Amino acid sequence: MHGTRERGIKSTTTVQVTKVVDQHTCCATNLESNHRQSKKKLLDHFIAEVLARDYNRVYRGNEIVRDINSKFPINISYQQHNPGTVTQIRTDDDDRFEFVYITLGCSVQAFIKYCRSTLIIDGGHLNGEFKGTMSLAVTMDGQNQIMPVAYAICKSECTETWSWFLRKLRECIGNVEDLTFISDRAPSIVNDCVWEYLQNINPKRWARAHFPGNRYFLMTSNSAESINSMSRFARKMPILMLIEYFRATMQQWSFQKRNVAAEAKTILTPWAETIIQANKNACNNWMVRWQIDGLPCGHVIKVLTMNRYEDCSKFALKAYFTETLRKTCEDSVNPLPSPSEWDIPDDLMIVKPPIMERRQPGRPRNTCRNPSQGEHPIRQECST
C-alpha cells in the first residue's frame, strides 16, 4: 500500500486505514542505486534482450556488470561467491611462491560472533610433488564439531611461516576478547628465541598452569590433527586442488550442520543436551567445571532442581544454544564458478614454483612394511 494514513483502534490490535492516496509518484523506470526493483528479474529481462539479438554470444559476468552499470543508474557488481573470503599470496623477490593464506568469510564471522573464543593450531606436511607444509586453525562449534577458520600452505614449517600465518589470522578476526590458542608446542612454534621471550613476560600469558583464560576443556590439538588425518590423501594433490578440496569439504560440513540445527527441537544443541543429561545422573564432577566448559555440572543441576528450576539451559553458555548453532552455519559455502567466468585482471602476476632450500623435518617414512612374526616375504618372479 502506498501513501496511507493509519491509526490503531483502542483496546484491539486492529489497524484502521483512514486515508489512501492511490497515486504513485515514483516510476518503475526511475531506478536508484538502492532501488528495490534492481533485482534478478531486471537482470533476467536485460540479459534475455541481449541474447535475443545474438544467441551465439557468450555473455560473461564482467560484461553484464559493465553493460548494466552503463545503461541504468544502479550499482551492481559481480560479487564473490563466498563474500568476506580473504586470500593472500606472498612471493620472494623473484616472484617465487612462499606462502598462501585462505580463510572463508562465513567461517570468520561464525567464529567471532557465535563460537567459543578458542583456536587450535597445528601443521601438516604435504606429500605431493610440492613438499611444503600446511598450517591450520580450527575451533569447535556449539555441537562440539570441528569448524576450520583459516589455513595456509607454506614452503616449510618454521617460526617465520607461523608468524606470518598468525599475523594474517589476526588481521581477519581482529581483537577477540579472552582469545585462547592451543598448540602442540612444536619446535617451529616454540624455539629458543621464543622461549627466551616467554621467560621475560608474565607466565599467565603462555603457561597452562598459570593461564587465567578459559580452554573449555580443550586440552589437546586433536581437533586440528583430525583435519590433517582426514586430508592425508588430499595433501598429495597440487596446491590448487588441495585448496578446492578444503572448500568443498567445508561446503559439505556446512550443509550437514545446517540440517542438524534445523531438525533440533531442544533449546540447547543435541550434544549439549547429552552432556547435561549425563551430569544429571552423576554428581562426581566438580563445581568449577561449570565455570570452565559453560555447561551446568551435576552439583549445579541438583541445586537448581531443589529450587524448582527444571530448565537448566538458561545457565549454559550462549555458544551451546541451538539458535546460536543455526546462526553459525546459516551462511552457505558456495562452489566456485567455471574458470571461463573468472574476472582475470590484465596485470595478473605469474607466480613461479618455489625453490626448496631444506627438506621436511623428521626422518622420511619407510613405505616397506616389516613382516609379522612367522611371515615370510613373497618371492617375486617374472613370468615367461
- Among 128-132, 212-216, 231-235, 375-379, name the most confident range: 231-235
Is residue 36 very low, low, confident or very high in pLDDT (cuts 50, 70, 90)? very low
What is the model's pLDDT at position 253?
92
In this predicted structure, the answer to whether residue 28 has a pLDDT above a threshold of 50 is no
Residue 360 reports pLDDT greater than 60:
no
Of these ranges, 162-171, 294-303, 375-384, the one predicted with the greatest mean pLDDT is 162-171
Give the range with max mean pLDDT: 62-71, 167-176, 328-337. Answer: 167-176
Mean pLDDT of the region 248-271: 91
Asked whether 313 and 245 are in contact (CB, 8 A), the reply is no
- Given a cut of 70, whether residue 321 has pLDDT beyond it is yes
CA distance linking residue 365 with residue 354, whole number of Å? 23
pLDDT for the residue numbered 12: 63
The mean pLDDT value for 349-377 works out to 64
pLDDT score for 33:
43
Q: How far is CA 23 from the centre of its chain?
A: 49
How distant is the alpha carbon of residue 208 from its chain centre? 27
Domain ranges in the chain? 4-71, 86-261, 268-320
Task: Encode pLDDT of 173-222 as tens digits.
Answer: 998 888 888 888 777 777 778 788 888 888 887 777 787 777 787 877 88
Distance (Å, whole) CA 301 – CA 279:
8
**Cell numbers at residue 101, please?**
593464506
- Residue 352: the pLDDT is 87
Largest CA distance in the chain: 103
Beta-strand relationship, 118-125 and 133-140: antiparallel
Question: How does pLDDT run across 81-95, given as a tens digit for each residue?
Answer: 788 899 899 988 888
The predicted model gives 313-326 an average pLDDT of: 89
Query: Nearest 10 degrees: CA dihedral of 312, 314, 318, 319?
Result: 20
* 19 bridge partner residues: 5
Higher pLDDT residue, 87 or 356? 87
User: Rounded to whole angstroms, how far apart are CA atoms 223 and 214?
Assistant: 17
What dihedral do alpha carbons 254, 255, 260, 265 form, nearest 10°?
Answer: 100
How confident is the model at residue 26, as a pLDDT?
55
- Tell me, what's the pLDDT at 106? 92
Helices (H), 127-187: 159-173
Task: Give the torsion through C-alpha atoms of 276, 317, 117, 253, to 10 deg.
Answer: 60
More confident residue, 322 or 125: 322
pTM of the model: 0.69
